[in-house]
Amino acid sequence: MAGKSSNRRGPSLEHAEFKRGPGGRPTRREAERRHRALLDAASRLFLENGLNGTSIEAIADEAGVAKRFIYARYADKGELFVAAIERFVEEQLSPLLSLDIPEVPVETGLHELGRRMLAVALLPEPLSVYRTLVIEASRFPNLARLFIERERALGGLTRVLSTYAQRGEIELDDAQLMTEHFFILVVGVAQRLALIGVREDPPQAERRLRAAIRLFLDGCRPKRA
């Protein structure tokens, strides 16, 4: 997944505009700002160039911080890699974790939800994260946990499905398990095709999504006596 190295560069190291407190040390707010800049820069470079293709020097330059600032927080590049990818995943998931649940029938609501899920899952950055997790997870157990921490990743979707269950439109014997099935039905094939550079035309993508929603609902509609 190596790519061109970024041409973006942060400000020169330790510029005077960095806010400092008593004794010349950065204020807490400034340290937090620099830490955010560090994780943002690290995630960009790791996803563009891969772990092996990204150096601490390049990250420091991109973020506009000194290497000592990085090593004061992370023992090595591997620790920074895990933290940066975790932060990126959380940011990508945030739109799905705060979904509004419309007052529409369940099939209409899940269809709109599926469209929003695909809009996130098929972006270049989430695809790069997926590749990174697959390639590097065996070397970094914390990354492997990101891949299998189902509750955090799918919590927003579980909330949506549980709301429809409370309305009596579907039944969920195991909300977490059904959320996983919903995610795979909606995203699985389209995301795997995108990973190898294949994009379905809009009519076929819509047909696949509607089939996924129907299949899911066929399995969890309320059972009538």
Task: Note down the domain range covering 24.
Answer: 1-73
Residue 62: what pLDDT?
94
Q: Are residues 199 and 134 in the same domain?
A: yes
Which of 156, 50, 47, 160 lies closest to 102 in space, CA to CA?
160
Q: Are residues 4 and 114 in the same domain?
A: no
Measured in whole angstroms, how far is the alpha carbon of residue 200 from the centre of its chain?
A: 22
> Of all residues in the chain, what percent carry a pLDDT higher than 70?
80
Over 50: is that where the pLDDT of 15 sits? no
Task: CATH number of the domain at 160, please.
Answer: 1.10.357.10
Has residue 136 been placed in a domain? yes
Whether the predicted model's global pTM rises above the 0.85 cut: no
**Quick one: 88 exposed, middle or buried, by C-beta within 10 A (0-12, 13-18, 19+)?**
buried
Over 70: is that where the pLDDT of 34 sits? yes
pLDDT (tens digit, 9 = 90+) per residue, 129-180? 888 878 887 887 777 666 655 455 577 788 889 999 999 999 998 988 899 8
The residue from 45, 73, 101 where one domain ends is 73
Amino acid of residue 100: D
Q: Are residues 136 and 206 in the same domain?
A: yes
Of residues 11 and 166, more confidence is placed in: 166
Q: For 105-129, what is the mean pLDDT?
A: 89
Which of 197, 153, 110, 70 lies closest to 58 in space, CA to CA?
70
Contact 208, 201 (CB under 8 A): no
Residues 6+ apart with CB under 8 A from 48: 3, 4, 5, 6, 54, 128
How many Å apart are CA 153 and CA 130, to the nearest integer? 13
